[in-house]
Amino acid sequence: MKHTLPILLAALLMAAQPALAQEKNVEDQALSWWCYFGTYRLTDKWSVWTELQLRRADFVNEWQQVLPRVGLNYHLNDNVILTAGYAYLWTYPYGEQPIPLPEGEERYEHRPWQQVTLLHASGKVNFQHRFRLEQRFLQNWSAPDASTGLRTITDGFELQNRMRYRFLLTIPLTRDEKGAQKLFATVYDEIFINFGDNIGFNLFDQNRLGVTLGYQFTRSFNAQIGYMNQFIQKANGRDIEDNHALTVFAFFNVDLRNKEK
């Protein structure tokens, strides 16, 4: 029963997507996300999170986003991790519904974030629940030009708030002679909700539903390849991106603790 709510939420989101798309301007697009994730354990209680995501649109032909992110983890216990961090993004005009900037310009974002991660297992399956808050400081831009509809970047930043919940499960498929996991699969769903006074027509921001196939090469390194559906509702509430992405992930989990003390 304890897994019913996240699974039901994911199922409802999947079922709701066609309804959300009715009478909307929906564009199907191909993306690819190339991502590095690293956790460096410093002590029993503290570790550092590092991340770099290179997101491409038109499959691999143009930029969508670049996202470096860092965080400091506090391991409350083996099942609860508290994190605070910072990300810096630049987003490019891409696809059939590009952000309204002149060609060659991009919009920058400063993003402090905080999260709680809960871990547990049931049989051979590992479960992860991730709750994240984000304060998004987006570059201000001008009103649309009357003739072109394009905007230009201006001074200052606009604060937008967003919360996210991700449910992820990891399923081992094969193990080595010592019983360590080798081949595995993950399934995840993450919903994004905007909140605050300056949110317009997109309280629901986006949903990401994905699956990966991974291989644990060493205790500290695994690689995953998969598919993700990214369903985005734009600020005007009418434009929708239904993105289909190839995902390539590399995970490093390095233990730097002094085991001899």
Confidence (pLDDT) at 199: 84
pTM passes above 0.75: yes
Q: What is the secondary structure of 1-50 as a DSSP string?
A: -TTHHHHHHHHHHHHHHHHHHTTSEEEEEEEEEEEEEEEEE-SSSEEEEE
Domain that holds residue 167: 4-17+29-255
Q: What are the residues whose beta carbons fall under 8 Å from the beta carbon of 16, sequence distance 6 or more?
A: none
| Number of separate domains in the chain | 1
Higher pLDDT, 192 or 104: 192
pLDDT digits (tens, 9 = 90+) for 62-80: 999 999 999 999 999 999 9
Residue 11 has pLDDT above 60, yes or no: no
Confidence (pLDDT) at 65: 98
Q: Comparing 9-23, 74-88, 140-154, 212-226, which segment has the lowest mean pLDDT? A: 9-23
Confidence (pLDDT) at 1: 43
What is the spatial distance between Cα 22 and Cα 191, in angstroms, rounded to a whole number? 20
Dihedral sign (CA 20, 24, 28, 32)? negative
Confidence (pLDDT) at 9: 54
Residue 15 has pLDDT above 50, yes or no: no
Residue 105 has pLDDT above 80, yes or no: yes
91 touches 64 (CB < 8 A): yes
Please report whether residue 137 resides in a domain. Answer: yes
Please report whether residue 207 resides in a domain. Answer: yes
90 touches 109 (CB < 8 A): yes
| Tokens of residue 217, six digits | 């090469």
Please report whether residue 92 resides in a domain. Answer: yes
Residue 121: give its domain's CATH number.
Answer: 2.40.160
Residue 158 has pLDDT above 60, yes or no: yes
Please report whether residue 261 resides in a domain. Answer: no
The whole-number average pLDDT for the span 136-147 is 94
Q: What is the mean pLDDT of the chain?
A: 91
Confidence (pLDDT) at 200: 77
Please report whether residue 22 resides in a domain. Answer: no
- Greatest Cα-to-Cα distance within the chain, rounded to the nearest angstrom: 69
Q: Which of 44, 52, 3, 24 is nearest to 252 (CA)?
A: 52
What is the spatial distance between Cα 185 and Cα 224, in angstroms, rounded to a whole number? 9
The whole-number average pLDDT for the span 25-46 is 97
Please report whether residue 24 resides in a domain. Answer: no
What's the one-letter identity of residue 3? H
What is the spatial distance between Cα 174 and Cα 168, in angstroms, rounded to a whole number? 19
